[in-house]
Amino acid sequence: MRKYHIIIAVLVVLLDRLTKALVAQRISLHDSVDVVPGLFRLTHVQNQGAAFGLFSDSPSEWKVAMLILFSVAALAVVSALLWKNGNALNATAIALSLVFGGALGNLWDRVASGKVIDFLDFYFGSHHWPAFNIADSAIVVGALLLLSEIFLAPQEEKVISQQEKIG
């Protein structure tokens, strides 16, 4: 089953790399292309911070190194969880594979250039969501899937799972 985890993560990384390369080649930095006017556009921005531009204005010379270190630590944790869950292809494994692929995609950019290309830009009137990319999307979808597993799993499954861990 681990091969499916790897396939999911690799597909996320490949799609992320491809879309970022296309945006970098076809849309000048800070330019936009309307896709759905009034709602969605492709905008080429470079994020030197964390997800959704957090810490991007920080003048710290250690910012990129800390973001890389955090990404490597997150990848190590997710890898360990995937390894532990390696014989299953369930929602948890899929979620962890998405998070792994997304984290790897953004780490690739940070190591290569110290910044991440973001381009998916949603807005409505004066309300604007920070631009993001495919890797960010995979991380968020994976995290939401994990949260749904935690909070929406039937109580019987939680009890049985706890009993299996004890026994």
* Residue of 16, 109, 121, 136 marked catalytic: 136
1 within 8 A of 86, measured Cβ to Cβ? yes
H/E segment holding residue 70: helix 63-84
Q: What is the DSSP letter of 32?
A: E
* Residue of 16, 109, 118, 121 marked catalytic: 118
Q: Active-site residue 31, yes or no? A: no
Report d(CA 134, CA 16) in Å as an integer.
Answer: 5
Q: Active-site residue 136, yes or no? A: yes
Phi-psi region of 104 (alpha: psi -120 to 50; beta: other; left: phi over 0): alpha
Active site residues: 118, 136
